[in-house]
Amino acid sequence: MTQDNDDADDLELFRQATRGARPITSDRADTGKPRSDRAQLQALRQRAVQPQQRTRVDGLSDHFVIDVAPEEELAWTANGVQESQLRKLKTGQIPFDGSIDLHGMNVEKARELLWEFLAEATKLEVRCVRVTHGKAQRKDGRTPILKSHVNTWLRQHPKVLGFTSCVPRHGGTGSVYVLLRREMLEGRDD
């Protein structure tokens, strides 16, 4: 047998095998995956390259959050705050003139409201406020999220001199008294 005979036999076998076959009209294979929605993908791409609405620069960082336990008592003072002031704050001897309840909120909403609340309190020259953050143990067993964030944020706020967990009648370990820095205004007589 020669090479030409082998080639002719192969060609004839091929023609017999493909008789009745139709040419493929698509050059894409069906992988079984659902087709992607092109309009939805385009919308997602456009949103990804658009600038966010606005970035709020408030000085409060979430990059390093100090985890605290639900029943853990919080206490912190900035440099220069006397120990006697912290003791008075801890025992509720410094009256608070404002209060905010953050528990049950998501972290971003709580952060925004806390920042606005502290700004308003310092503008009004308030000396002490109460912040209720809650202390619920999370379902996954991890530390309370808002309590940990509030503990971290208050340490970063430039107007916070110190804070400590409240006495039980004011919320106990689910709230903190916050001592604020005040600017001395002319004509104030206290």
- In the predicted model, is pLDDT for residue 35 greater than 70? no
- DSSP string for 106-161: -HHHHHHHHHHHHHHHHHTT-SEEEEE---PPPTTSPPPHHHHHHHHHHHH-TTEE
Please give the helix or strand (H or E) that residue 8 lies within, else none: helix 3-18
Backbone angles phi, psi at 162, to 5 degrees: 180, 165
Section 56-83 average pLDDT = 78
Residue type, 117: F
Q: What percent of the chain stands above pLDDT 70?
A: 76
- In the predicted model, is pLDDT for residue 53 greater than 70? no
Please report, in angstroms and rounded to a whole number, the separation of the first and last CA atoms in the chain.
118
Q: How many CB atoms lie within 10 A of CB 63?
A: 5
What is the signed CA dihedral for 97, 103, 106, 110, rounded to 10 degrees? 10
Q: What is the rounded average pLDDT for all residues in the chain? A: 82
Kindly report, residue by residue over 22-32, the tens digit of the pLDDT.
Answer: 877 777 766 66
Query: Could you tell me which residue, 58 or 156, shows the higher pLDDT?
Result: 156
pLDDT band for 185, please (50, 70, 90 cuts): low
- In the predicted model, is pLDDT for residue 71 greater than 50? yes
Kindly report, residue by residue over 88-103, the tens digit of the pLDDT.
Answer: 999 999 999 999 999 8
Q: What is the pLDDT, as a whole number, of residue 66?
A: 79
Kindly report, residue by residue over 118-175, the tens digit of the pLDDT.
Answer: 999 999 999 999 999 998 766 666 667 899 999 999 999 999 999 999 999 999 999 9
